[in-house]
Amino acid sequence: MKSTARLFRLLAAIALLAVACSSSGVSLPGPFSEPDVYEEVWSQTSEFGTSWEYKVNCSGDPTTLEPCFLSDLTLVRVLTPDGDVVDLEKDFNVNDYSGEVTRRWVLYGPQEGSPPASGEYTFEYLQSDEVIRSHAIDYTQSNIAYPTEVKWQRNGNDIAVQWSPPAGVEKGMWYKVIIGSEGDTPAAFVSQVFEWDAESAVLPDVPLLEDGNYYISVPVFYNGGYAYGPDKSFVW
């Protein structure tokens, strides 16, 4: 349970690749007349069931945390079809291992929550107490099964990983191999993206400590969310 909860927090620290959504065309004050952002409602499926994730990303593929429309906002919130108002959390970071850049606001639902309802979701963007942009998107509920039979093997400083794909994986989806520290082992986080038809991967020269305690997970992503199985603990 604890290691799976860690996966949620760590997933919040990595960029989740996604397909671009259409922009709203809403006129804004200042230099950002049409912000290049995309809003998403995702499902997240695990051994505990299916829950939700709401997020908005800056578009583009930067190599640094360069400023974008989301950088200086005070708050981003989501109005759900059920009438809930959900405040998102700011998440700007660079993954030390892959160099992946994340520029977004995001919030994950509880593991044993409920899937996002189909309907209209409104994203509101605030500076101080003023809503400077409001944009609605439509969402249709969906989910996917998670990979199973995750295995690993150490080869020097490299780690080789294998898994069994879930049913329904197709072009346009992708995997991530995620490794994080456990217990008293100093914090470490490794993630790498792999193609939809992969069933194995090698992560070279991973920065793990000898005899350190870690976990590994292989979630699968699609344009409506992701799914992940139980973490697999190991000693390096």
The string of pLDDT tens digits covering residues 174-205 is 999 999 999 999 999 999 999 999 999 999 99
pLDDT of residue 77: 97
The H-or-E segment that residue 152 falls in is: strand 148-155
Same domain, 107 and 66: yes
Pairing of strands 225-227, 37-46: parallel
Q: Is the pLDDT confidence value at 31 over 70?
A: no
User: Where does residue 11 rank: exposed (0-12), middle (13-18), buried (19+ CB within 10 A)?
Assistant: buried
Segments forming the whole domain that contains residue 69: 2-21+28-139
**Residues 105 and 220 reside in one and the same domain:** no
Question: Looking at the predicted structure, is the pLDDT value of residue 19 above 60?
Answer: no
Kindly state the average pLDDT of the residues 55-67: 87
Same-domain check for residues 122 and 95: yes
The predicted structure's pLDDT at residue 159: 97
Proportion of the chain above pLDDT 90, given as a percent: 72
Same domain, 161 and 208: yes
pLDDT > 50? residue 28 = no
- Tens digit of pLDDT for each residue in 62-107? 888 889 999 999 999 999 999 999 999 999 988 888 888 899 999 9
Question: What confidence tens digit (pLDDT) does each residue in 103-151 have?
Answer: 999 999 998 889 999 999 999 999 998 999 999 999 999 989 999 999 9
At which of 122, 139, 156 does a domain end? 139
Q: In the predicted model, is pLDDT for residue 6 greater than 70?
A: no
Domain shared by 16 and 118, yes or no = yes
In this prediction, residue 62 carries a pLDDT of 82
CA distances from 228 to 4, 11, 106, 143, 218 (A): 9, 11, 18, 11, 6
Q: Verify that 154 and 93 share a domain, yes or no.
A: no
Whether residue 160 sits in one domain with residue 67: no
* 226 and 156 share one domain: yes
- Report the pLDDT value the prediction gives residue 33, as an integer from 0 to 100: 56
Find the CATH number of the domain harbouring 66.
2.60.40
Statement: the pTM of the whole predicted model exceeds 0.95: no
Same domain? For 126 and 155 the reply is no
Per-residue model confidence (pLDDT) at position 230: 94
Instruction: Please report the DSSP string for 14-28 in residue order.
Output: S----PPPPP-----
Contacts of residue 2, defined as CB under 8 A and 6 or more positions apart, other chains included, come to none
231: confidence class by pLDDT, cuts 50, 70, 90:
very high
Whether residue 134 is found in the same domain as residue 204: no
Whether 54 shows a pLDDT value over 50: the answer reads yes
Residue 168's pLDDT is what?
92
pLDDT at residue 45 is higher than 50: yes
- Cβ-based burial of 223 (10 A; exposed 0-12, middle 13-18, buried ≥19): middle
The whole-number pLDDT of residue 185 equals: 97
Provide the pLDDT for residue 164: 97
Query: Which of 52, 22, 26, 27 lies closest to 37 in space, CA to CA?
Result: 22
Structural domains in the chain (count): 2
